[in-house]
């Protein structure tokens, strides 16, 4: 049975991924708050699910969380870096020159550096043929880059760059790394006017994660390769 680790698994796409993968596989997820993590366990009621408490914004928290993960399993086959933020006040079209430094740095610390922290810590558990999926966004796509939400856009563009770097550096270990855009999804972050339900989005992600033709160093949406 494959072991899956999903960061930010207590709500939205993350919780949807926990639920859909646990139908067939052992799933571990992270949440910053133990109460929220336990509520996921209680609501899904599947013995294939376990959790660790971890804040990807904090290096010591990540190290402690992954040490806890190592006590629960000796291997991770698929790592899905899902944890991320979009500061609510920055959702709308606030110009870059009016965006404060703190918001940019906080977003970058979680959405980009947080992913690297987790990858560093989890890699000792990953064997050859393992896979890493970074949940990115079309808002970080350089081609067709628009305005507004500059903190989020910058963090996801940088995450895409990190994906390319890791995909090359981990090639010798036979670990493949890709970034995906989950689409515009009906979550607290995406808003409830979005075109995709969580179920539709996570079904697509699961299909891609388990695909026999899993690429390396690509940016995709619903299995289709996108330009960076």
Tell me whether residue 152 is one of the annotated catalytic residues: yes
183: left (phi over 0), alpha (psi -120 to 50) or beta: left
Task: Quote the strand ranges of the chain, DSSP E.
Answer: 3-6, 26-31, 49-53, 78-81, 131-135, 176-181, 219-221, 224-226
Given the residues 25, 51, 152, 192, the one annotated as active site: 152
DSSP letter string, 82-135:
------GGGSS---GGGS-HHHHHHHHIIIIIHHHHHHHHHGGG--TT-EEEEE
- CA angle at 106 for the pair 76 and 187, rounded to the nearest 5°: 65
Number of alpha carbons in the 13 Å side-chain half-sphere of residue 210? 15
Q: Token pair of 95, please?
A: 């110009």
> What tokens does 226 get?
């996108």
131-135 sheet: strands from edge to edge: 49-53, 26-31, 3-6, 78-81, 131-135, 176-181, 219-221, 224-226
Dist CA 219 CA 221 (whole Å):
7
Q: Which of 135, 136, 147 is nearest to 92 (CA)?
A: 147
Active site residues: 152
């Amino acid at each position: 049975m494959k072991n899956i680790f999903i960061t930010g698994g207590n709500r939205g796409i993350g919780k949807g991924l926990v639920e859909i993968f646990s139908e067939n596989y052992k799933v571990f997820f992270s949440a910053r708050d133990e109460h929220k993590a336990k509520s996921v366990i209680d609501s899904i009621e599947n013995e294939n699910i376990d959790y660790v408490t971890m804040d990807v914004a904090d290096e010591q928290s990540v190290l402690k969380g992954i040490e806890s993960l190592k006590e629960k399993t000796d291997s991770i086959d698929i790592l899905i870096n899902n944890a991320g933020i979009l500061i609510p006040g920055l959702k709308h079209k606030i110009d870059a020159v009016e965006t404060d430094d703190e918001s940019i740095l906080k977003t970058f610390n979680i959405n980009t550096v947080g992913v690297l922290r987790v990858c560093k810590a989890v890699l000792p558990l990953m064997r050859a043929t393992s896979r890493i999926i970074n949940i990115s966004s079309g808002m970080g796509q350089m081609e067709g880059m628009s305005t507004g939400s500059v903190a989020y856009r910058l963090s996801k563009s940088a995450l895409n760059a990190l994906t390319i770097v890791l995909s090359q550096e981990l090639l010798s270990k036979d670990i493949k790394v890709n970034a995906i855009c989950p689409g515009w999804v009906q979550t607290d972050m995406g808003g409830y006017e979005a075109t995709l339900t969580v179920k539709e989005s996570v079904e697509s992600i699961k299909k891609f994660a388990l695909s026999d033709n899993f690429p390396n160093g690509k940016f995709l949406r619903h299995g289709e390769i996108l330009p960076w």
